[in-house]
Amino acid sequence: MPKINLLPKQVAELIAAGEVVERPASVIKELIENSIDAGADDITVEIQHGGITYIRITDNGCGIAREDVPTAFLRHATSKIKTGVDLGSIATLGFRGEALAAVSSVSRVEMFTRVKEEDFGTHYKIEGGEEVLNEETGCPTGTTIIIRDLFYNTPARMKFLKKDVSEANAAAAVADRIALSHPEIAFKLIRDGKQTLNTAGDGKITSAVYSVLGREFSGTLIPVNGELDRITVKGLTCKPISCRPTRNYQFLFLNGRLVRSGTVSAAAEQAYKNSAMIGKFPGFVLYLTVPFDTVDVNVHPAKTEVRFSDEKRIFDAVYHAVKTAISKGDTRPEIKLKQPVFNPFERLKTEEYRQQTIEKPTVAEKIYSKSISFHKSFVPPAFSSPEKPKVIYDNTPKEPIKPPVIPEDKSAVKERVSVDIIREEPEEKPEIRIIGEAFSTYIIAETGSSIYMIDKHAAHERILFNELKKRQSSEVQALLTPVTVTLTPEEYGAVTQNTEILSKAGFEIEDFGNTSVRVYAVPATLTKEDTEALVSELAGSLLKTSRPEIERLEDIYHTVACRAAIKAGNRLSLLEMKKLAERVLGSDDVMYCPHGRPVAFEIKRRELEKQFGRIQ
């Protein structure tokens, strides 16, 4: 029978270090969080060889008092909590007091630190958990900590590290996320002598997102700002048309801490339902502020998973904040045409053109001579006189033309005074002119200084879907002959269990026995549809029984709207096209079909004029 032994202190510390220090990235995360807790507003991280051989983190925080420096490297030594009660309302990023002890047990650590009240700082060295040096030194207020030779005394851990590039990328990802979590702090990352990250620290979320995630992603974002039951939701979320194929661009910060939460992701994605395409996920940078006593961050060693005391309140707060942001901040997508590679018409002043020799072809002649044969025979006419015509300018000031005075009907003014006080007259919208229809699918409409390409099926589908949701019912059309539909046992169960929901959507269905149902009526817009195929499709959708009733009803409305909408290939009259275009362009809630596809694209006049060389 094996004997139970108490492990030596050094071995126990090496095992404990494995829970906190997995790779250089985890070291950087723990130490940056210490700098943030110290009140720093300027943090610089420098790494070499992926952080395996060298990590240096410098901050301008409060520093550590000289007598506290050795204590800081002991396990469970911290200034952030004192009693077990404090664990119920943790307000700092770090609280366990394990990071410095774990890091120093598997590396060579050197620290320079000074508090504002002391004239001299402290220079401290510790290697493998053993103190090597503790002396006074001159240094600025704050802390600089240097880690060398990570895992030098644990070869088993060293062999599991990846290549320098992979480790450096992981470290950079950690720095990026923490920089996003605190826009008010200026972050710098220096990677093998090259600066790869630099945030302004101006407190603006937009500037932090631009510095970390780039111009392309930040250009697709709209602001989020909401509050519900002491839960504040702020940040940025992408437009529905800019949703991505993965969840890699979802960043959540809870009370300043980077966390993962399935509840928040589900709430945000639910807000995009019927606006984003199926299979696409929203990208967002959200900052949640909740009372500290309503969340438990002491769940995971890396402190990235949390537990909320009331998940539903969090879901509702995030859902309503994101939904409101989409409805207010989203705009109709605009087509940006590529700049032409060349301009075939050379822009010359009249005098320059006259002085041009005939033997020297213009740029336009060079281009057209290669493509169209009859241009080759064209010879520009010679000018008999290069003399510049005289232009006489009359500088005599003239009296401006005054518009005719139209007498105002005072009685009319008197009648509308009370109305004007209550609300302003709405701006008159420019008239919509239908240019035509392309490919029997897209309506081309002109209004103001823009041309719109409208997908008539997607537009009509969204309009019908909105009307069904608004009415919460559908007009019913009884079938002349009831239709019997045979289903699989699973589909049969789903339909018979949801007859009440189907009835709200306009379907009258009864159990006919032996996995069959009989349909007596359908929504009025579906009288020409294949009832059997439609019921089978609805049954497949209803198989997801775990969802709330409102979601199942919306799926039915979606199917009804899709089947009842105008189909691509169906020709419309000019009047029908105009009515549909007016409905689309006059309403902000007709921007995406229920599948998430855009309903219309805008092409501005300026974009077209660039293509034709009319403007630069």
Tens-place pLDDT, residues 446-468 = 988 889 999 988 888 888 888 88
Neighbours of 608 (CB within 10 A): 14
Classify residue 68 by burial, with Cβ atoms within 10 Å: 0-12, 13-18, 19+.
middle
Confidence bin at 280 (pLDDT 50/70/90): confident
Sheet architecture: strand order including 433-438: 433-438, 442-447, 450-455, 600-604
Angle, helices 311-329 vs 262-271, to 10°: value is: 30
Sheet architecture: strand order including 108-114: 130-137, 121-127, 108-114, 142-148, 54-59, 42-48, 186-191, 194-198
Confidence bin at 17 (pLDDT 50/70/90): very low
The segment with the largest mean pLDDT, out of 57-71, 264-278, 382-396, 502-516, is 57-71
Q: Which of 475, 465, 498 is nearest to 565 (CA)?
A: 465
Neighbours of 195 (CB within 10 A): 11
Q: Which of 429, 444, 460 is nearest to 335 (CA)?
A: 444
Give domain 9-198's CATH superfamily: Histidine kinase-like ATPase, C-terminal domain (3.30.565.10)
Residue type, 109: V
**Are the beta carbons of 129 and 104 closer than 8 angstroms?**
yes
The domains spanning 9-198 and 430-616 adopt the same CATH topology: no
Which is more confidently placed, 40 or 309? Answer: 40
User: What is the rounded distance in angstroms from the CA atom of residue 419 to the CA atom of residue 521?
Assistant: 48
User: What is the rounded distance in angstroms from the CA atom of residue 413 to the CA atom of residue 415?
Assistant: 5
Q: What are phi and psi of 494, to 5 degrees?
A: -65, -40
Confidence bin at 384 (pLDDT 50/70/90): very low
Can you give the pLDDT at residue 137? 92
Neighbours of 475 (CB within 10 A): 10
User: What is the rounded distance in angstroms from the CA atom of residue 205 to the CA atom of residue 198?
Assistant: 14
**Are the beta carbons of 290 and 255 closer than 8 angstroms?**
yes
SS3 track for 469-527: HHHCCCCEEEEEEEEEEECCHHHHHHHHHCHHHHHHCCCEEEEEECCEEEEEEEEHHHC
SS3 track for 139-196: CCCEEEEEEECCCCCCHHHHCCCCCHHHHHHHHHHHHHHHHHHCCCCEEEEEECCEEE
Report the CATH number of the 430-616 domain: 3.30.1540.20
Can you give the pLDDT at residue 332? 72
Instruction: Mention every residue, 6+ apart, whose C-beta is less than 8 A from residue 23.
Output: 51, 161, 162, 167, 170
Which is more confidently placed, 592 or 252? Answer: 252
Side-chain-facing half-sphere of 383: CA atoms under 13 Å: 13
The first and second tokens of residue 170, run together, are 């992981």
Can you give the pLDDT at residue 416? 42
Q: Which of 232, 382, 419, 247 is nearest to 318 (CA)?
A: 232
The residue with tokens 């499709």 is 537
> Each residue of 170-196: pLDDT tens digit?
999 999 999 999 999 999 999 999 999
**Are the beta carbons of 243 and 281 closer than 8 angstroms?**
yes
**Are the beta carbons of 523 and 558 closer than 8 angstroms?**
no
**Are the beta carbons of 248 and 294 closer than 8 angstroms?**
no
Q: Does residue 354 have a pLDDT over 70? A: no
> Each residue of 48-94: pLDDT tens digit?
999 999 999 999 999 999 998 998 888 777 765 555 555 555 656 76
Residue type, 504: K
pLDDT (mean) for 317-331: 88
pLDDT (mean) for 426-434: 76
3-class SS at 249? coil
**Are the beta carbons of 146 and 165 closer than 8 angstroms?**
no
> Each residue of 541-587: pLDDT tens digit?
777 656 677 777 788 888 888 887 888 888 888 888 888 888 888 88
Q: Which of 236, 198, 199, 204 is nearest to 220 (CA)?
A: 236
pLDDT (mean) for 379-407: 49
Side-chain-facing half-sphere of 461: CA atoms under 13 Å: 26
User: What is the rounded distance in angstroms from the CA atom of residue 449 to the CA atom of residue 473?
Assistant: 39
Q: What are phi and psi of 542, to 5 degrees?
A: -75, -10
Q: Does residue 479 have a pLDDT over 60? A: yes
R_g over Cα of the chain: 35
Q: For residue 543, give the DSSP letter.
A: T
Give residue limits of the domains in the chain.
9-198, 214-329, 430-616
Cα angle 445, 449, 455; round to 5? 25
CATH architecture of 214-329: 2-Layer Sandwich (3.30)
The residue with tokens 């949703």 is 243
User: How high does pLDDT run on average in the chain?
Assistant: 79
Can you give the pLDDT at residue 399? 54
Can you give the pLDDT at residue 142? 94
**Are the beta carbons of 582 and 434 closer than 8 angstroms?**
no
The residue with tokens 């589909």 is 491
Beta strands 516-523 and 508-513, pairing class: antiparallel
pLDDT (mean) for 595-611: 85
Can you give the pLDDT at residue 406? 47
The residue with tokens 């890699």 is 248
Q: H or E stretch including 610? A: helix 605-611
**Are the beta carbons of 65 and 113 closer than 8 angstroms?**
no
